[in-house]
Amino acid sequence: MNSVQFNAYKTRYRAAIRRVLAEAEPGRLDEAAFPAYSHANPLINWLFWQRLHVVMNYVQSAAPFERVLDFGCGSGVMLPFLAGISRQVTAMDIDLTPLERVQKHIPVSKNVQVLDSSKSLLTDLPVRTYDFIIALDVLEHVDDLPRTLSELLNLLKPGGQIIISGPTENILYRIGRKLAGPEYSGAYHERGVDEIRTLLAEHATVKTIATLYWPVPLFEIFTGQV
């Protein structure tokens, strides 16, 4: 996705998120990163959106796909993109309120299946059928990381990939989070991205996609291939 296409995508989604935030109760959508994706500070806003641009470019280079899973889809910010490069997309999250509110402004495509992970389990999905799994800024939240990661990897076709992003949780990241505002407490994070990467490397071949941003490492993006 070139810069012009990405900026158009970003502008459309930011507008929808801002409309949803204007109607939402304070703090209700913080964990779904609504404040980050709509932040008024240009630098903070760029930092969060650039992660998505890096992921989109990497995923698109291997497209098209038969099946893709967006695990922890949040507001659904990746779904229009994924729906355009895959025959079938599964979107899963434990809290579908953010996605449902955005859907009023950006409807989900017909080839997207939305699942509530409090009712539908990863083990309910067909094993070894997904070409790609997206898990962006979500695995730092889960309680049982070994089990969740094992279940995700079991869904991939041979040669399939999971792409993961997450915060470094280093001192510079924590300072930046405080400067960004009270919405970025990070109190709901169980771990940093290094722990996720270490566990993934026990079960898959790990490849770094990007460290964002030099010289201050705030986020890591990497893949695991089975």
Domain spans of the chain, in order of start: 3-225
By C-alpha distance, which of 80, 107, 59 is closest to 8?
80
In the numeric block, which tokens belong to residue 42? 């240009």
* Res 161: pLDDT: 98
By C-alpha distance, which of 57, 193, 185, 64 is closest to 136?
193
Q: Please determine, for residue 185, whether its predicted confidence score (pLDDT) is greater than 50.
A: no
Q: Please determine, for residue 172, whether its predicted confidence score (pLDDT) is greater than 70.
A: no
What distance, in Å, lies between the first and last C-alpha atoms of the chain?
26
Topology (CATH level 3) of domain 3-225: Rossmann fold (3.40.50)
Give the gyration radius of the chain's Cα atoms: 16
Measure Cα distances from 207 to 88, 163, 201 in Å: 25, 9, 9
In the numeric block, which tokens belong to residue 79? 């779904």
Average pLDDT over residues 104-117: 96
Q: Please determine, for residue 26, whether its predicted confidence score (pLDDT) is greater than 80.
A: no
**pLDDT tier at 32, thresholds 50, 70, 90:** low
Mean pLDDT, the chain, integer: 88
Q: Please determine, for residue 114, whether its predicted confidence score (pLDDT) is greater than 90.
A: yes
Local structure of 80: helix, strand or coil: helix
